[in-house]
Amino acid sequence: MRSHVSLPPLAPADFRVSVVLPVYSEVESVSEVVAGLRDRLGSRLEQIVLVLSPRSQAASRAVCEELAAADPRVLLHVQVNNPGLGHAVREGYARTTGNLVLNMDSDGEMEIETVSRMLAVMERDGPALVIAARWLPGGGFSGYSPVKKVLNWGFQQLFRLLFWTPLHDLTYGFKLMRGELARGIAWEGSLHEIACETTLKPVRLGVPVAEVPSRWTARVQGVSKNTFLRNFRYVRTALRILLGGVTLRQEPAAQGIMELS
């Protein structure tokens, strides 16, 4: 049985957005993404948490240190549990303070213009989660492996059926969610499966979820750590959530989440 939770309403005038931005081997793209976030979030930007892998190259560390020194809203956190994107996202969530949390990559593959669309939907409809959807009209892929694209499409159809949801992109890590969810759900993923976990667990909880179209463009710098075989961890994660449900963390992390059933 699907559990349901409820969140108190959030007025658009009160939006304060924390951004979690994992960094591994990226350099120039980190500065570009941070600049784009400042432009699009404006006064609503609460903080940008740069989660730096301790295995990052010196150039990546240097650019993160420069960004943090230049803007007090940019926080640099060196990842403690390593390796793994999932650990980076979880440590980043724990350090957010905003009532909205944006999850994004620092490699330039995620379309920065999508952030404005996410905010517009959050402002208009007030969902608990807004996901970027590459499979919606207006979204898409550029430079994506044909094999991975077919595999991705298959995952979407499988997960839509398992979770009985009309959402089009359940495995993409680009999303804007309420802070109560980011800090209140007990996340478990250690690698790239965190991308689907951070969508499927809110879906399993029954909170309102919206989607906006977004384009993915292959990175021009840095090296992806998501190997082909690791994609199958998504299936194991989905089945665990479907069969085992969702665990909420203890107070105060889960403060504001009201469980209904």
Residue 154 tokens read as 């298959």
In a domain, 5, yes or no: no
Mean pLDDT confidence for 164-190: 97
**Number of domains present in the structure of the chain:** 1
In a domain, 8, yes or no: no
Whole-model pTM: value is: 0.93
> Which of 86-90, 102-106, 152-156, 247-251 has the least mean pLDDT?
247-251
In a domain, 153, yes or no: yes
d(C-alpha 16, C-alpha 18), whole Å: 7
Query: 155-168 pLDDT, tens per residue?
Result: 999 999 999 999 99
In a domain, 137, yes or no: yes
| DSSP code per residue over 56-97 | --HHHHHHHHHHHHH-TTEEEEE-SS-S-HHHHHHHHHHT--
Mean pLDDT confidence for 215-239: 76
- Here the CATH number for the domain that contains residue 43 is 3.90.550.10
Mean pLDDT confidence for 107-117: 97
The alpha-carbon radius of gyration of the chain (Å, integer) is: 17
pLDDT beyond 50 at 261: no
What is the domain range of residue 54?
A: 15-259
In a domain, 7, yes or no: no
In a domain, 142, yes or no: yes
Q: Any idea what the Cα angle at residue 230 is, between residues 34 and 18, rounded to 5°?
A: 25
pLDDT number for residue 252: 53
Which pLDDT band holds residue 23 (cuts at 50, 70, 90)?
very high
In a domain, 152, yes or no: yes
In a domain, 46, yes or no: yes
